[in-house]
Amino acid sequence: MKFRTFTGNPPGSLAGTPDAAGTHNRAAVAGTVVTNIASGVLRGTWGIEPVYGSASFQTLPSGYVVKRGDPGASVDTSASAPYVTREYQVCLKCHSDYGFSDNNVYPLGTRPPVGYPGGTPFGTNNLAQYTNQAKEFQAPLTHRGETTTTDSGAAGAYAINNHRSWHPVVDATGRTGTVRGNGTNISARWLSPFSNAVGTQTIYCTDCHGSNTGAATIQPAGGENGSPWGPHGSSNNFILKGTWNNATGSGQQATGLCFKCHDYNAYAGAGGQRTGFFNDPGDQGRGDLHAYHADKIGRMRCNWCHVAVPHGWKNKAFLVNLNDVGPEGGQAAGTQVRNNTTAAYNNGPYYMNAVLKVRRFAPSGLWRESDCGSAGAPGNGSSGRDWMRDSSENCQNAP
């Protein structure tokens, strides 16, 4: 079902009017604003819309509304329409506790296991069971923009300047390029067309899931007669359009999933373009801290600092915090982990070679050296650039 998509139909087009291919072109076209409105090939299928009673990442949806029927001549493209209007509504009928049992216990609960014949092998990225994507993709209105919340699912000690994060599959984030850059528009850190409406746009599940695509694009090769749209299969695990594993980062510009939409040079290289991870000018004056770390370490890994299942998360910017491994890791909220070890922290499904400890979440663009480090016992309590090198953390070099 395609209503008005960015490729063509003008405002006022009838719901269900597809473009020539019945698909959703994501070519790098100036001014293109991507959406999550369902494509023509999904017209008339059925799906579900999750209902949420809590904004916490730790809480399952309270229920689901079934969507059925053909829109006919209706122009209603809202998510509340009685028929399917969004791609995620089709996906979530299987990839949530609408389609499987979920007692919401981690790391192992009642969710289906990974590892069916021909699928992603058991244990890949520390994943033993599927996750509940209706839980992960929730886009709470009160968590949009740069805000402070107390109900993200993080421990109370990490509520200041913190909020839920999510890829905008269900709804937009409200975090525009200017919000993320603390007054400086950093929309160019995304690749076209995703750079055109950062914070207000929405995306498809199939922007990440589908046949393998070329470097710096999620567009299938070959047009209508080439690789198909849709999550039918992939040479990559999890039916992804690029590789995502504990090596994704420096050296994976061509294949890494993140760099189909995010600028590799800005996030994994030493390019120095401003991102949301920017040093507070009143601190050390180090400029962009993605570039600073890439320069000092010489190699970057996305999962050192970001969650291993990047659908949605309890912390801003998908940041892991080993000062606060909670129920999503089988721990009480606020549990500090990874001391007296020579390895990074691995605990599926969300932690894969994680090393980051956040003492204080900073507003985007205002990060300080003291914001990183151990919060105290059982860690070493140190902060700043050398906190991992102290003997009680035993991490002389990033893994």
Average the pLDDT over each of 76-85, 215-224, 271-280 and give the range with the smallest value: 215-224
What is the per-residue pLDDT across 287-296, written as a single tens digit (0 to 9) for each? 999 999 999 8
Residue 81 tokens, joined: 């329409």
What percent of the chain shows pLDDT beyond 90? 73
**Exposure pattern of 119-136 as b/e (b: 16+ CB <10 Å)?**
ebeeebbbbebbbbbbbb
Handedness of CA 215, 217, 220, 223 (dihedral sign): negative
Q: Which residue has the higher pLDDT, 240 or 42?
A: 240
What is the per-residue pLDDT across 225-267, written as a single tens digit (0 to 9) for each? 677 788 999 999 999 999 999 999 988 888 999 999 999 999 9
**Confidence class of residue 340 from pLDDT cuts 50, 70 and 90?**
low
Q: Max Cα separation, the chain? A: 68
What length is written for the chain?
A: 399
What distance in Å separates the CA atoms of residue 207 and residue 223, rounded to the nearest whole number? Answer: 15
| 378 preceded by a cis bond (ω within 30 of 0) | yes
**Distance of alpha carbon 197 from its chain centroid, rounded?**
17
Residue 371 has pLDDT above 70, yes or no: yes
Q: Which of 300, 292, 305 is nearest to 253 (CA)?
A: 300
Average the pLDDT over each of 34-48, 57-71, 104-118, 121-135 and give the range with the smallest value: 34-48
